[in-house]
Amino acid sequence: MQISNVNVYGLDNAIRVSKFPMAKNTKDCTYEVTSTTSKLGSCKTGSGHDNYLKGIVVQFDMKFSNKMSVELERYHFIDFISSQSTMHRITKFNLAEQCNEYVDERIIDVVQEMIDVYNGLDDKGSEFAKDLYLRILYNIPSGFELTAGFTTNYQQLKTIFQQRRTHRLPEWRKFCEWIETLPKFKELVLVGDSNE
Determine which of 62-76, 83-97, 161-175 has the lowest per-residue pLDDT on average.
Answer: 62-76
**Res 192: pLDDT:** 64
CA distance from start to end of the chain:
26
Q: Are both 117 and 27 inside the same structural domain?
A: no
Higher pLDDT, 87 or 157: 157
In a domain, 78, yes or no: yes
In a domain, 154, yes or no: yes
Per-residue CA distances from 155 to 8, 71, 95, 181, 185 (Å): 13, 18, 36, 15, 10
Q: Are both 76 and 33 inside the same structural domain?
A: yes
**Whether residue 196 has pLDDT greater than 50:** no
What distance lies between CA 83 and its chain's CA centroid? 12
DSSP reduced 3-state for 65:
strand
Render pLDDT for 39-68 as a digit per residue (tens, 0 to 9): 999 998 888 889 999 999 999 999 999 999
How much is the mean pLDDT over the chain? 93
Q: Are both 157 and 114 inside the same structural domain?
A: no
In a domain, 22, yes or no: yes
Q: Are both 121 and 166 inside the same structural domain?
A: no
Burial of 109 (0-12, 13-18, 19+ CB in 10 A): exposed
Number of structural domains the chain divides into: 2
pLDDT average, residue stretch 19-27: 92
Backbone angles phi, psi at 75, to 5 degrees: -85, 125
Q: Are both 170 and 150 inside the same structural domain?
A: yes
**Whether residue 105 has pLDDT greater than 90:** yes
Q: Minimal CA–CA distance to 51: which of 152, 153, 155? A: 155
**Whether residue 163 has pLDDT greater than 60:** yes
pLDDT average, residue stretch 6-22: 96
Q: Are both 118 and 162 inside the same structural domain?
A: no
Per-residue CA distances from 39 to 18, 126, 170 (Å): 11, 63, 30
Q: Minimal CA–CA distance to 44: which of 149, 194, 196? A: 194
Identify the domain containing residue 158 by its residue range: 2-82+145-189
In a domain, 95, yes or no: yes
In a domain, 196, yes or no: no
